[in-house]
Amino acid sequence: MLIRKEDFPKVALSKMNEIHSTEIDIVNSLYDAVVRCIEGKESVETVDKLLREFLNDVREHFSFEQELMEKYGFFAYPMHKGEHDNVLRELASVESIWEEKKNPATIKEYLENYFAPWIVNHVQTMDTVTAMFLSNFVHAE
């Protein structure tokens, strides 16, 4: 397990919390498969499949937030989107290194040292402020 759900910050919009919760499940499954793969107990194909699932989920997660921010004119939209874009760029490079080398240690290192601390910090700061702002408009979501 990479991220403990109990320790993960909650924001003021329940739909965002749901998306985060699903993402934690997906990234934890990927991480566990990567660790097993390093030990020779999991196939590269499984890691491949879970990595793709994770990348799609992250893209949908970021798009969801960005659409709401645009729709309701969130003041720090460019800054929030900028953080998303940085991570999408990192993920694209992790993906291409993986495609080339199929070395699970690369994914493990990225998830532990970059993605996990980033997502906790991002949700605690950017997402928290964004959700607070959006909750003035999006009561049902």
Binding site for Fe ion (CB under 5 A): 65, 127
Min separation Cβ 85 and Fe ion, Å: 11
96, two tokens:
């291409």
Here the contacts of 63-67 (C-beta below 8 Å, separation 24 or greater) are 64/15, 64/16, 64/19, 65/16, 65/127, 65/130
Q: Nearer to Fe ion by C-beta: 50 or 126?
A: 126
Rounded CA-CA distance 93/87 in Å is 10
In whole angstroms, how close is the CB of 11 to Fe ion at the nearest point?
A: 8
111, 30 contact by CB (below 8 A)? yes
Closest approach, Cβ 3 to Fe ion, in A, equals 13
- Looking at beta carbons only, is 96 or 124 nearer to Fe ion? 124
Of 105 and 132, CB closest to Fe ion: 132
Helix, strand, coil content of the chain in percent (nearest 5): 80, 0, 20
Nearer to Fe ion, 10 or 36 (CB): 10
**Distance of closest approach, residue 83 Cβ to Fe ion, in angstroms:** 7
What would the two tokens of residue 126 be? 């950017």
